[in-house]
Each structure stands twice: as structure tokens, then as C-alpha cells.
Amino acid sequence: MPKQKDLKRLVRSRMKKTGEAYTAARLQVVKKNEPRVDFAEVAGMSDAAVEKQTGRTWAQWVEVLDGHRAAEKPHREITQFVSSLGTPSWWTQMVTVGYERIRGLRDKGQRRGGAYEAGKSRTFNVPVETLYEAFANARKRRRWLPVKITVRTSIPARSMRVTWDDGTFVELMFLAKGAAKSTVTVQHQKLPDRAAVETTKKSWSEHLDRLGEVLTIT
């Protein structure tokens, strides 16, 4: 990778030749000079999994999204474009976030605006409707989650957005893995720093452990 002053010189040279904006020219210069990157490792999801669910490997997604100049666009616009290509809803966010990590627009655990978030996922041997109900039903939720929450929006057996007792936000996605198996994916948002990410991940591991015990008894 060129030093900062050399990078700026190369970017300005490309801008004169192509008429591109600075951001677009910089992206192309960086791509040309960047070392070989393990896209799957940076994105946080294997090539095999993303190709199975979306029909494209990470390298192919990077090529498509770079061609759309996605690195210059806000998160919502990238998500809309990925969705327009027929990507399943849960994987639309995964592809978008993975691409943003690959292109250095966010770090793991960090949102585009700079705030941090903690992600956790767990699969249980119950139907997705049962898993969703364990979160949606306040009486059942109190058996495993010792935190007061406020449900903001929800789509039965698919998703839920809640406010945590400390004012942070949590997005929950529910995915059926068969008739008697399902996964919940947690994105705990608006965390103040990287240390809070690790603490929150640990807490969610404990919450989901208790949920697993409750579901087994049920």
C-alpha cells in the first residue's frame, strides 16, 4: 500500500484521467495496490455459506458491489441494492455488513456511524414459532432473561426490535432451519466502545444458555 502522501498523489492523478470523485478514485487506487485479502475472514462468514445462500462468493459480491460503487453509498442503499438482486432478507444484511468490513467502512462490532454492536447467534432444537414466542411472550421471557425490555416492532416468527433497559437497542432475527430447528441472531446496538462489545457478547451467551435450558424443560 502506498504511503499517505503517495496515495493522495495517485488518487489525484486518477481523478484527472477519469473525472471520478475523490472517494471513487481512492477506492480504485486502493484496490489496485491492496494485498490479497481473505474476504471470508474479514467479512466474518465463510465463502461456502454465503455462496450457498446467495449464489455468489465473497469475491463475486465484492466485484458486483464495487461495480455499483457501493463503497460510496450509505448502508441503507447498499442493502436495497443487495436485496434487489434476489438475496434472502437475513442474508441481505450479512452481505452488506460483510462488504462494508472488506472495504474498511466498518470494523467488526462497529456500525457505519462509528457506534459499536455485539452480535450473537444460537440454534435450538425447537420450531421457529416456539423460539420466537420465548422472546415475544413476557411471562415466558422472564424465565430466562433477567432484563426489562420494551418491544418496539415485531414480525411473528421473523424479527423483533427492542429497547434494552439501559437505552441500547437490540435487533432479533429468527430463521427456521427445518420443522424442529431454528436460529436466533442477536444484534445489540448503540454500544459505547469495543470493551462493551465483549461484555455484551458474554451476557448474551449466558442469556441464550438459560434460554436453551428453558426450552429443553418446556
Q: Which residues contact 167 (CB under 8 A, 6 or more apart)?
A: 190
Distances (CA, A) of 64 to 42, 61, 79, 202: 18, 5, 13, 36
- The Cβ of residue 192 has, within 10 Å, a number of other Cβ atoms equal to 10
pLDDT at 11: 81
Domain boundaries, the chain: 4-102, 116-217
115, 190 in Cβ contact below 8 A? Answer: yes
pLDDT at 84: 96
pLDDT at 129: 97
pLDDT tens digits, 54-86: 999 999 999 999 999 998 888 889 999 999 999
pLDDT at 1: 45
pTM for the model stands at: 0.56
- Please state whether beta strands 181-191 and 159-163 pair in parallel, antiparallel, or not at all (unpaired): unpaired
Pick out the chain residues at pLDDT < 70.
Answer: 1-6, 30-36, 107-115, 218
Domain at 116-217: CATH architecture:
2-Layer Sandwich (3.30)
